[in-house]
Structure 1
Amino acid sequence: MTVFYGTLTSKGQTTVPSEVRDILNLKPGDKIRYVVRNGEVAMKAKNRRLSDLSGRFADPARSVLSDDDLRDAIVDAATEHLAGER
């Protein structure tokens, strides 16, 4: 496990460390998601949409999504739908 640190500003903002941006392949304007469980926060790149999964299962060689990727895409789509973001 690698630990990175940042500082929270008075406006509640922080900079994502460059090492984390590189690991998650984040670019300016990308969305990130914070998952809070039991007092811990995980940050995930929100770079998959449910529509990205189209055709992935017709050819097993193209299906490179993990169970977590699939679950995250479904949760993201449901959240966006309920929030009226589509």
Structure 2
Amino acid sequence: MATLTVTAKGQVTLRKDLLQHLGVHPGDKLTVDKLPDGRVAVKAARPAGAISDVFDLLKRENGPSLSIEEMHEIAVQGWASKR
């Protein structure tokens, strides 16, 4: 069992071996669940959904997928609105 120290700001730093065990990297998020008796469970936050969900973004409603040219035009319009 690892012992961690709480700083004056109320922060706790997880050691590298604990982060590796959780499979997290800088920028990743953790979820913390409050358990009975003052305990907590820390888990790596994993995105909900599957990678295959992205593929449906390229489909028209009741039609085939967008062509490369159509995707390019959408991207150009998106960049143009950012200027």
Superposition deviation, residue 12 in structure 1: 0.9
> Is the Cα–Cα contact under 8 Å of residues 33 and 44 in structure 1 kept in the other structure?
yes
1:18 aligned partner = 16
Cα RMSD (Å) of the superposition?
1.7
Moved over 3 A (4+): none
Superposition deviation, residue 52 in structure 1: 2.7
1:63 aligned partner = none
Superposition deviation, residue 31 in structure 1: 0.5
Residues 1:28 and 2:31 are matched in the alignment: no
Superposition deviation, residue 37 in structure 1: 1.2
Number of paired residues? 52
TM-score (norm 2): 0.55
Structure having the higher Rg: 2
Question: For 1:55-70, what aligned pairs fall within 5 Å after superposition?
Answer: none
Distance 1:23 1:54, change over 3 A: same
Q: Unaligned 5+ residue runs, structure 1?
A: 56-86
Q: Unaligned 5+ residue runs, structure 2?
A: 54-83
Question: Percent identical across equivalent pairs?
Answer: 35
2:60 aligned partner = none
